[in-house]
Amino acid sequence: MSRRAFTAVELAICLTILIVLIPLVYAGALIVEETHSLGLWHLQSADQLRSVTEELRLDVRRGVPIEGQELAWKLDGCQVSYRVDERGVLSRELAEPCRGARGLATGVTAFERVQDGVELELTRVLRPTRQEHSRFFIPLEAP
């Protein structure tokens, strides 16, 4: 009985096909992973935007603006202000006598008062060579 084995040519063809296919599969997997990460970031950004918008609108409706400060209100005897720290966390802070702070959003690169509202910019690093930025406008009614 004779046994048939793979020839060197057949093995070389298989190796050549694998050498071409493996990088393509790897690149496809990286694209899928990045797209998934970006989708999750968009969901997180929407949730953070909702939180910031709700807090700002409540403070604008119930508070009295403090002169000289763009994003600060007097509310029930407390001073409410918003600030972004060096780590990119946007927090709502209550001064004396109602101490406390609550983080509202992460990855914040800009939070500033504009003519009719507030602009919020969120940034996510997807890989060392690519960052994704989203800029949002939150309208505020006049006090």
| pLDDT tens per residue, range 31-61 | 999 999 999 999 999 999 999 999 999 888 8
Backbone region of residue 107 per phi and psi (left: phi > 0; alpha: psi in -120 to 50; beta: other values): left
Q: Is residue 110 part of a domain?
A: yes
Number of domains forming the structure of the chain = 1
- Segment 104-129 shows an average pLDDT of 90
Q: Quick check: is 1 in a domain?
A: no
Q: Identify whether the C-beta of residue 90 lies closer than 8 Å to the C-beta of residue 104.
A: yes
Residue 14 included in any domain: yes
Instruction: Report yes or no on whether pTM surpasses 0.85.
Output: no
Range of the domain at 29: 8-139
Report d(CA 99, CA 107) in Å as an integer: 24
Helix/strand/coil for 99: coil
| Structural domain includes residue 26 | yes
Check pLDDT > 60 for residue 143. Answer: no
Q: Which of 64, 82, 62 is nearest to 73 (CA)?
A: 64
